[in-house]
Amino acid sequence: MAPIARAAAARPAIDHRLVATGQHRELFDDMAAAFGLTVDRNLALGETGQTIEALERRIAAALPALADELRPDMILVQGDTTSAWGSALAAHRLGMAVGHVEAGLRSHDLALPFPEERNRVEIDAVSTLLFAPTTAARANLEAEPAVTGRIHVTGNTGIDALLWMRGMAAGHRLHDGGRRLVLVTCHRRENIGAGIAGICEALRRLARRPDVRIVLPLHPNPSVRAGIREALAGIANIELLDPLDYPTMVRMMDGAHLILSDSGGLQEEAPALGVPLLVLRDNSERPEALATGNIALVGTDPDRIVAAATRLLDNPAAYAAMAVPAYPYGRGDAAERILDAIEDWAATFRPRASQPASGRSPPASQA
């Protein structure tokens, strides 16, 4: 959302507020600082070990008072997190318009990834404006009868953020001591347990190679961190790091020879950087990235992961075929496209019959 907040600040017609739920506070503060953003409100809803249902209930309880105070014309949410889902549903119940950034992504399997696939489907069903990153995402939305909002193909703001930060970090690549850097991230809820165990076994095997340096920034989720530390702590050629700030992470991605990850965002970012990515999942809601040839699904089976990584490390032709930059999610102007669509919508905005919690009509000048 940082590119949208930065771009909105330059538009007099848009009065915006940046609200944080308060999860992973240090990571969020680092990100905001990297983009020069100030958070207008932190709801402080993060609690160690809380369930997704508990978080949704806390968002539903916190949002009415905030909506009553700010009286926004629209609430923007991004992606498929529980925070986005809870905020969108709470706003919908209050009669507020919802704008969904990164709408229309589908794996077409409610169990994989869970709860993200459920979240994105339900957010799209209650959204007034749907900002699809690609034409394929738009087609997904058009095929669902529950989706009734306006659909705009905009690209993805994650690419805006990546390319902006890459330009800021140019000339500051990290050194890897002559070894090829293999960057790894894993955090998906469905991989906790057997999936992470399989990934760690693969990394132990790959770490036997003297020509690689494996770096794994740990996710804040205690369930994820504990399993990885137990399996990989102290192994030569594997570095377990605390979570990285965004500028450092971008430099790490840009300087990597190969990335292994179960992240959704990295499936978009790696192609834009021209870095081959092996996806530690069995399916993907980003078929456009798969079509570029820059990424490949390998799941969590250690034999499959090791075979795919070894091929890219040992076969220069196979590596070169994947290491070609591609931009299926835009070239950095998604935020401006999204704000254009919001201003067009606001020009014909009329207060809905169902008002925010206080019953007062929201001013048409605020978005």
Examine the pLDDT at 88 and tell me if it is beyond 60.
yes
Residues 90-104 have pLDDT tens digits of: 999 999 999 999 999
Per the annotation, the verdict on 116 as an active-site residue is yes
The string over 169-187, giving b where at least 16 C-beta atoms fall within 10 Å of a residue's C-beta and e elsewhere, is: beeeeeebeeeebbbbbbb
How deeply is 205 buried, as exposed, middle or buried, from its count of CB atoms within 10 A (0-12, 13-18, 19+)? middle
Examine the pLDDT at 175 and tell me if it is beyond 60.
no
Which listed residue (56, 58, 100, 102) is catalytic?
Answer: 102
As a whole number, mean pLDDT of residues 162-178 equals 71
- CA–CA separation, 309 vs 301, rounded Å? 12
**Token digits for 49?**
């070990």
- CA–CA separation, 28 vs 259, rounded Å? 23
Q: What is the mean pLDDT of the chain?
A: 89
Higher local confidence (pLDDT), 15 or 367: 15
Examine the pLDDT at 48 and tell me if it is beyond 80.
no
Examine the pLDDT at 199 and tell me if it is beyond 90.
yes
User: Sign of dihedral through CA atoms 49, 29, 286, 272?
Assistant: negative
As a whole number, mean pLDDT of residues 233-250 equals 91
Closest to 59 in 3D by CA, of 73, 72, 77: 77
As a dihedral over the C-alpha atoms of residue 188, residue 193, residue 197, residue 203, rounded to 10 degrees, the angle is 20
The string over 312-324, giving b where at least 16 C-beta atoms fall within 10 Å of a residue's C-beta and e elsewhere, is: bbeeeeeeeebbe
CA distances from 287 to 334, 344, 357 (A): 19, 30, 40
pLDDT, position 177: 66
pLDDT, position 349: 74
pLDDT, position 113: 85
Examine the pLDDT at 174 and tell me if it is beyond 60.
no
- CA–CA separation, 297 vs 111, rounded Å? 17
Examine the pLDDT at 366 and tell me if it is beyond 50.
no
Which listed residue (187, 188, 213, 257) is catalytic?
Answer: 187
pLDDT above 90 coverage of the chain, percent = 66
Here the contacts of 271-276 (C-beta below 8 Å, separation 24 or greater) are 271/295, 271/325, 271/326, 271/327, 271/328, 272/159, 272/162, 272/163, 272/325, 272/326, 272/327, 272/329, 273/162, 273/166, 273/325, 274/323, 274/324, 274/325, 274/326, 275/323, 276/312, 276/319, 276/322, 276/323
Examine the pLDDT at 186 and tell me if it is beyond 50.
yes
Examine the pLDDT at 362 and tell me if it is beyond 60.
no
Local confidence band at 351 (pLDDT 50, 70, 90 cut-offs): low
Per the annotation, the verdict on 189 as an active-site residue is yes
Here the contacts of 351-357 (C-beta below 8 Å, separation 24 or greater) are 352/95, 352/97, 353/95, 354/94, 354/95, 355/95, 356/64, 356/67, 356/68, 356/71, 356/94, 356/95, 356/96, 357/64, 357/65, 357/67, 357/68, 357/94
Which listed residue (138, 219, 257, 286) is catalytic?
Answer: 219
Local confidence band at 361 (pLDDT 50, 70, 90 cut-offs): very low
As a whole number, mean pLDDT of residues 190-213 equals 91
pLDDT, position 8: 96
Which listed residue (16, 56, 73, 116) is catalytic?
Answer: 116
Per the annotation, the verdict on 219 as an active-site residue is yes
